[in-house]
Structures are given as structure tokens and as C-alpha cells.
Structure 1
Amino acid sequence: MNEVIRQNSEILFLYDAKMCNPNGDPDDENRPRMDTDRERCLVSDVRLKRYIRDYLEEMNHTIYVTKSEGLTEAAGRLKQVLGHEPTGADLPVLLTKLVDVRLFGATMPIRGDRRGTGEAVNLTGPVQFTWGYSLNRVQLVDSVTISSQFSTREGARQGTFGKDYRLYYALIGFHGVISARRAAAMLARAGGDGNGATGEADVALLDEAMVKAIPLLATRSKIGQYPRLYTRFVFTDAETFMGDPREDLRLDPASGLRAVQDFTLELKGLAGRLSRVHERLDRVYIWQDADLRTVVDGQEVSMAGWLGDILGPDKVKTLGRT
């Protein structure tokens, strides 16, 4: 049973990008997105959700937003899922089938009651992410020109040229929220059927995808990216959020990095944020890569062990990666 979530969660996700382009900007020759004033790279929430969706599809879950997007494709996708033209009456069925809509929401073109009319159903999903940014100052690799050749129908050879933009190293952090209130709103749109609302099983799939998706679905420009830390803080109610935990993390050093072994991640600043919500923290799910060194006051600790000392070991649940 995909029991509807009734407690808020907050997510901290870190992954690194080595000698690759974590999120190219198509309006700027596909250069890595940058906050040039702070020398930080940026990654959109859309890019992160694409990794998650692609992983869910690879695992044979039905998704709505495939790699081919747009209004025409969206209408065709709904028809493909249902086997007929969608109407407003089909919304509960669509929510039951489409896991990415239950997680992230979507805008879906649905035919209205009158022939020839249409409408867009807008659903805001309970799982939302900010844009990611690097915790360290990054450096661009000097770009190189790349070329490709292909044959035309007439047998002639044609070629294209472009620039290959990459970063030396970035530790990228995302902050996300899972809203139980939005899950309740999704339940109402599903007609009260719990299978059509965001459930605990959906969130468990999200946990799995966050840890596994990026290295499994790497393309040429994305090889060199690996998850390093995933933490989901679950609160006791549908009211509590604690805010962005990235603000409390510090790298030492924070520049000149080339690999995960070049720095330590200081956790101490997070203690104050946790103390403000201590009584409303129900449990924490965590996965940490063995190569990421986390410290408190310079002393190396595992984040799971440190959280167990603060919150109580019974509240900390370690996620596996196999």
C-alpha cells in the first residue's frame, strides 16, 4: 500500500563533478552555468529531476515527462499511457500510473467536457528542489574544439564544430522539500484514492534514485559525477521545515580542488539548525560515500554517527546503495 505521506521532509544532497559539464547553458554555447561573481557553478532543479525521472523509467516505472517534451508530445504521452484521449475523469487514473507526477507535479493538457475544447491541469507536486550550487570555488578547463562528421542521404560527408566546456571539480549541493500538505492536495485531486497521491513508497523510490541515478545515467559530458551524501530529515508533522542546510556546511579548503580527497566537509554549523527542530525531528535517512570525509571541529566523523549522537541513534536510518 502506497500510504500517503503525512509528515514533511527536507533533503540535503551532495554530488561531485570532475572534469565534466554538470549543467550546460544552451543560451551560452553550452558553457557550465555559473555564478561568476562567487565563482560557483550552478545546476538547475530541472537537470536533477531529469536524472531522477530517467532512473525511474530505467527501473520500469511509468513516467509522464520523458526526454521528448512539449505540448504535442505531452498530449500524445497521456494518450499512450491511457490508451485513449484523456479527459478530466481520467486524472485519478493518470496519477495512479505516473510516479513522476505524484512526486513533482506537472501541467497536463486534458480535453474539456465540450468537444473541441481543452484545458491544462496544473499540479504542484510535494517534492521540490532549489537550484544547486557548488560549495567550492570552481575553475573552468580551457575549452577545446570538437568536431563530428556524418553522411548525408546523397553520400556526401558533412561536419560540425563546437566547444567542449568542462570544470575541473565541483562539489554541488541541492536542498529539497517534501510537503505533506501538497501530498494531501494531490490526494484530493485523485478523488480520495491513496494510490493516486504521493505515498511513502514513492518517497522511498526517490531516496533510491537520488543515490543511484547520476552515475548510472551519465552521458559523455556527464561522466565524472558521483553522489557523495544524501540526507532526508523527516519531521513529526506537516508544518515544520528547518531551512536550507547548505548554508551551514563549510569545505576546507574551498578552492583549488581537483578530487573528493582534497578537502573535508565541516558539519558543526548544522548543529544549531538541528537544535531548533530537535523535538520535531522524527527520523533521518542518510547515505554517505566512503570517500567523503566529514569532520566536526576538525575531527573526522561519519555524518550518521554524528547525527545519532545529537538526535539519538534510533532516529538515524542508514540507506544502502546495492
Structure 2
Amino acid sequence: MTLANRYDFALFFTVKDGNPNGDPDAGNLPRMDPETNNGLVTDVALKRKVRNYVAALDEPGKQIFIREKEPLNKKIAAACVAKELPTFEKGEGKWDKEKAKGRSQDDIRVLQAWLCANYYDIRAFGAVLSTGPNAGQVRGPVQLGFARSVEPIMPLEIAITRMADVDKEEGEMGRKHIVPFGLYQVHGFINAKLAEKTGFSEDDLTLFWTALRDMFDFDRSAARGEMAAQRLVVFRHESPLGNAQAHRLFERIKVERLHQGEAVPAGDARSHNWPPARAFSDYRITFDGADLPQGVSLVDPW
């Protein structure tokens, strides 16, 4: 069943002694807002984890379009072959771009329908398909913002010794960048009207909630430390267009810092003299559920 309701959600996750999202332009340091020192994790990094989780299922209709070391144009060409449409391939991985530009909109819609039906991430996140054989562009119903830590982070640079080296008997020194602890919050949005166009269904939504819950357990590595999804707050709208503005709903979510029976808003100056947070139990997430806008309800998919 195609999705018929708009959803807005907030995901909270923690990182301990790891690098949740390194910045290649800064020596792989954890991404940060330079004005506030709050940590950042890009939407691309989070979508990658969802894709990897769904890819592990290896089920029909839930294949992943954007995968490591897999050219996209060949997959678009496979859609052309399946629907008996020209691929405009010139050979050796080259395509006749001028002919591809002239593909009719009707043919593009046929190709997009086939690709959406077969690839979960196109149904969910959309994709640019206008390269190579040209299947246009698909705008996905599921969108994520950047995750941001609720308090400033203090990245550490740890020296390590690498003993295995091809040419050196003594090995060499290296560096690892970690965040000792951070609680991050990311906002997400699910557009029911776009779901109608891609075929994103209720079953797809259930899988998406599961992927958000378990994606960090599937993505373990020494670099990322102990990352864990901690809390998911989901607002369900009765109308596919929505019954309230998303930012007004998110304003109802409060994150507090706890210490010896005291509670202050996360990042409040009154907590600056407290010991640094080192566990999710150092925070409390509360929600003002009184007088929700008509047509909006709080659901718990976990």
C-alpha cells in the first residue's frame, strides 16, 4: 500500500570513542560547526548506512542503486533493456549523450517506474538518472537534514603505532580522531505526495524505521566506535499534505542535561562546570504532547 500520510521525525543517536563522520578536507577530523563546535554528521553518511542495511537483506524489489564500485549507467541501461528501449550505448562504457537527451518524457517515465520498483533507495531518497542512457531525475519522499550534536564536542587526536609496514621493520606512527562522547539529533521528513510518484509503501516505511534503529549495529568499525540509535520521535499527519508545520512540532522536543538531580537545557551555560557527558543517561529527552495540532499524532515505530 502506497504511503498516504506525511511524517516528520527526530532521531537521536550517540557516539562513544569514535569518529561518526570524518571530514576529508580537514584530515578526517570529526565534522564540526566552527562557530559553535557542535558536531555534524551529513545526511549522505546516514543514508549510506540505511542503504547498507537494506542491501544486506538482498530481497527482490529492495535492491540498492547507489553501491560502492558499481557504475550507475549500467543499471540505467539494464532498465532500458528490460523495457525494450534504446540504451544509446556506443560501446566501452560510452553513451551517445545527444541521442540520450532526446529521449521522450513518456519513455523516461517508463524507465523511472521500473527503477523505482526494483531499487529501494530510489523509491525512498530519489536519484539523478539523467547521465548515460538518461532516465531523468527522481525526487524521493524521504529526506534527512544534517545531524548536529546537542552540545559542543571536543575531538581528540590519538597517536597510534602501526607495526605492519611493507618496507619498514619498526613500523610507523599514525593518528586517529575520536569524539569521546556525543549525543546527536537529526530531523527527517517523509512526503506522501512524492511517495505516490515513486511507489514508496507502508512496508518500505516499516523497513526504514527498522534500518534507523539497527543501522549502527550493522556498521561497526574501529573508526566509528560505539554508535547507537537511542530515541526516535515520529509525528504522523492525517493529511498527506500535513496538518502542522514541522519546525513547530520539533520545538516541542526538549533535550536536558542531567547532573546530581539537576536538569538544564542541553548546552546551557549552567552546565559548563559539570563533568562532561559520557553516557546517554547524562541526558533526558522530553516531549510536550499537550494539545497537539488537530490531525497530528505521536507514533512509536520501535
Q: Does 1:236 align with 2:238?
A: yes
Task: Measure the CA separation in 1 of the matches of 2:295 and 2:185.
Answer: 24
User: Do the aligned residues in 1 keep the contact of 2:157 with 2:175 (CA within 8 Å)?
Assistant: no
1:248-276 CA distances to partner (integer Å, 9 max, x unpaired)? 42221446111223x131415x44xx635
In the TM superposition, what is the alpha-carbon distance from 1:281 to its structure 2 partner? 1.7
Q: Does 1:178 align with 2:193?
A: no
Task: Measure the CA separation in 1 of the matches of 2:77 and 2:134.
Answer: 15
In the TM superposition, what is the alpha-carbon distance from 1:242 to its structure 2 partner? 3.4
Task: Measure the CA separation in 1 of the matches of 2:141 and 2:37.
Answer: 32
User: Do the aligned residues in 2 keep the contact of 1:140 with 1:167 (CA within 8 Å)?
Assistant: yes
Report SS of the residue matched to 1:167.
strand
1:209 aligned to 208, 211, 219, which one? 211
The residue type paired with residue 213 of structure 1 is M
User: Do the aligned residues in 1 keep the contact of 2:12 with 2:183 (CA within 8 Å)?
Assistant: yes
Match of 1:267 in 2: 286
Alignment of 1:86-125 (within 5 A): 88=108, 89-109=110-130, 118-119=133-134, 121-125=136-140
User: Do the aligned residues in 2 keep the contact of 1:215 with 1:226 (CA within 8 Å)?
Assistant: yes
- The alpha-carbon distance between structure 1 residues 39 and 121, as it changes in their structure 2 partners (threshold 3 A), is same
Task: Measure the CA separation in 2 of the matches of 1:177 and 1:22.
Answer: 22
Number of equivalences: 257
Alignment of 1:58-97 (within 5 A): 58-60=56-58, 61-68=62-69, 73-79=71-77, 88=108, 89-97=110-118
Match of 2:36 in 1: 38
Match of 2:18 in 1: 20
User: Do the aligned residues in 2 keep the contact of 1:64 with 1:78 (CA within 8 Å)?
Assistant: no
1:274-304 CA distances to partner (integer Å, 9 max, x unpaired)? 6352x21255124xxxxxxxxxxxxxxxxxx
1:60-81 CA distances to partner (integer Å, 9 max, x unpaired)? 1311011236xxx111244467
The residue type paired with residue 284 of structure 1 is V
Q: Does 1:258 align with 2:260?
A: no
Match of 1:131 in 2: 146
Question: TM-score of the superposition, structure 2-length normalised?
Answer: 0.76
- The alpha-carbon distance between structure 1 residues 213 and 266, as it changes in their structure 2 partners (threshold 3 A), is closer
1:218 aligned to 217, 220, 224, which one? 220
Task: Measure the CA separation in 2 of the matches of 1:80 and 1:149.
Answer: 43
Structure 1 gaps, min length 5: 112-117, 187-196, 287-318
In the TM superposition, what is the alpha-carbon distance from 1:184 to its structure 2 partner? 2.5
Q: Which has the higher contact order (CA 8 A, sep 6+)?
A: 2
Task: Measure the CA separation in 2 of the matches of 1:281 and 1:246.
Answer: 13
Task: Measure the CA separation in 2 of the matches of 1:120 and 1:80.
Answer: 11
Task: Measure the CA separation in 1 of the matches of 2:78 and 2:16.
Answer: 39
Task: Measure the CA separation in 1 of the matches of 2:78 and 2:277.
Answer: 47
In the TM superposition, what is the alpha-carbon distance from 1:171 to its structure 2 partner? 0.6
Question: TM-score of the superposition, structure 1-length normalised?
Answer: 0.71
**Larger mean Cα displacement after TM superposition, 131-140 or 169-178:** 131-140
Q: Does 1:52 align with 2:67?
A: no
In the TM superposition, what is the alpha-carbon distance from 1:6 to its structure 2 partner? 1.5
Identical pairs, percent: 21
Task: Measure the CA separation in 1 of the matches of 2:63 and 2:161.
Answer: 36
Structure 2 gaps, min length 5: 88-106, 259-265, 267-271
User: Do the aligned residues in 1 keep the contact of 2:233 with 2:298 (CA within 8 Å)?
Assistant: no
- The alpha-carbon distance between structure 1 residues 200 and 167, as it changes in their structure 2 partners (threshold 3 A), is same
Task: Measure the CA separation in 2 of the matches of 1:91 and 1:107.
Answer: 11
In the TM superposition, what is the alpha-carbon distance from 1:200 to its structure 2 partner? 0.8
In the TM superposition, what is the alpha-carbon distance from 1:99 to its structure 2 partner? 0.7
- The alpha-carbon distance between structure 1 residues 83 and 157, as it changes in their structure 2 partners (threshold 3 A), is farther
- The alpha-carbon distance between structure 1 residues 143 and 59, as it changes in their structure 2 partners (threshold 3 A), is same
